Amino acid sequence: MGFDSAAMAQSAADVRQRIARAAARSGRRAADVTLVAISKTFPAAAIRAAWEAGIRHFGENRVQEWESKRGEVAHLDATWHLVGHLQTNKARRAAGLFDSVDSVDSLDLAHRLDSALREDPHSGQRRLRVLLEIRLAPEERKSGVEPSELEALARGVLLLPRLELAGLMCIPPPAGNPEEMRPFFRRLRELRDTLRASLGVPLPALSMGMSHDFEVAIEEGATEVRLGTALFGSRS
Ligand SMILES: *Cc1c(COP(=O)(O)O)cnc(C)c1O
């Protein structure tokens, strides 16, 4: 399946303009917001077209799907994120296949990622970037750590030498109106600010906002937005 590079260039340009406007509304620069293209369900050709349109961060939500696509695109100079829930029995594979795991939600998982890197002779001194996924609406999802358990998890992760704790991530329950998402995004930023103060580490990354609500997320301080539909069209 081919992917129309002119259409991709256009949607990337549209999205960048919307990011820049949202950043400006909150007194920030477009360069402070990283666009992570979520390529799940789309073929490697779509990733290549997005790369040609200047996108350098990509996210997949399943280890196996990425294993089947990466042969065609892993040589591209890009940062590969895992954004979906990671089962502990796939941690070892994921540690070798991604540059960033944005969905760490347990100390067990963090330990497994850390040991996978320590035990892999080919990993050199590589550290895996991780974000902690927070569950902000308990009834909606099974993944994510409860806010009340966040500090303990973060303290544990900071002790693991091969993980680099960069910040927080959330996937709040979808809402009809993007404005309804604002309290969740604000809460994630406040949790990050509190954690940063109590741990004394920078925690620069806030991964929040998807196609439907990324502008609100940017207004609330997102440094990474995860966009699938807005770039690639709807998933079948
Ligand atoms: C699919 C997915 C996205 C992108 O969703 P869109 O609404 O298509 O932008 C973002 N984050 C995660 C974790 C996803 O699974």
Q: Is the Cα dihedral 168, 173, 177, 183 positive or negative? A: negative
Tell me how many domains the chain contains.
Answer: 1
Query: Ligand 1: which atom is nearest the Cα of residue 212?
Result: 7
Structure tokens at 105: 């939600």
Say if residue 62's pLDDT is above 70. Answer: yes
HEC secondary structure over 193-235: HHHHHHHCCCCCEEECCCCCCHHHHHHCCCCEEEECHHHHCCC
Give the pLDDT score at 52: 97
Query: Ligand 1: which atom is nearest the Cα of residue 103?
Result: 13
Q: Is the Cα dihedral 114, 143, 88, 60 positive or negative? A: negative
Query: Ligand 1: which atom is nearest the Cα of residue 234?
Result: 8
Q: Which of 40, 210, 218 to mutate to test the pocket of ligand 1 (most atoms within 8 A of CB)?
A: 210
Q: Decide: 101 in ligand 1 pocket, CB within 6 A.
A: no
Give the pLDDT score at 16: 98
Give the pLDDT score at 138: 73
Say if residue 58's pLDDT is above 90. Answer: yes
Give the pLDDT score at 2: 55
Q: What is the residue with the minimal CA distance to atom 6 of ligand 1?
A: 228
Query: Ligand 1: which atom is nearest the Cα of residue 229?
Result: 8
In this prediction, residues 7-36 reach a mean pLDDT of 97
Phi, psi of 207 (to 5 degrees): -95, 105
Residue with tokens 């207004």: 219
Say if residue 38's pLDDT is above 50. Answer: yes
Q: What is the whole-number distance in angstroms between the Cα of residue 85 and the centre of ligand 1?
A: 12
Q: What is the whole-number distance in angstroms between the Cα of residue 159 and the centre of ligand 1?
A: 30
Q: What is the whole-number distance in angstroms between the Cα of residue 59 and the centre of ligand 1?
A: 9
Q: Is the Cα dihedral 74, 81, 65, 9 positive or negative? A: negative
14: domain CATH number? Answer: 3.20.20.10
Residue with tokens 């954004």: 83
Burial label, 125 (beta-carbon count in 10 A; 0-12, 13-18, 19+): exposed
Domain that holds residue 45: 5-232
Task: Find all residues with CB under 8 Å of 121, minimum gap 6, and list them.
Answer: none
Average pLDDT, the chain: 96
Q: How far apart are CA 130 and CA 157, in angstroms?
A: 9
Instruction: Give the orientation angle of helix 44-52 with respect to helix 63-73, to 10 degrees.
Output: 60
Give the pLDDT score at 1: 45
What tens digit of pLDDT does each residue of 132-169 get?
A: 999 998 766 678 999 999 999 999 999 999 999 999 99
Amino acid, single-letter form, for residue 59: G
Say if residue 232's pLDDT is above 60. Answer: yes
Q: Decide: 40 in ligand 1 pocket, CB within 6 A.
A: yes
What tens digit of pLDDT does each residue of 80-129 get?
A: 999 999 999 999 999 999 999 999 999 999 999 999 999 998 888 899 99
- DSSP H or E stretch at residue 163: strand 163-170
Q: What is the whole-number distance in angstroms between the Cα of residue 60 and the centre of ligand 1?
A: 9
What tens digit of pLDDT does each residue of 194-229 get?
A: 999 999 999 999 999 999 999 999 999 999 999 999
Give the pLDDT score at 122: 87
Q: What is the whole-number distance in angstroms between the Cα of residue 125 and the centre of ligand 1?
A: 31
Structure tokens at 92: 């070892």
Q: What is the whole-number distance in angstroms between the Cα of residue 121 and the centre of ligand 1?
A: 33
Q: What is the residue with the minimal CA distance to atom 5 of ligand 1?
A: 228
Phi-psi region of 203 (alpha: psi -120 to 50; beta: other; left: phi over 0): left
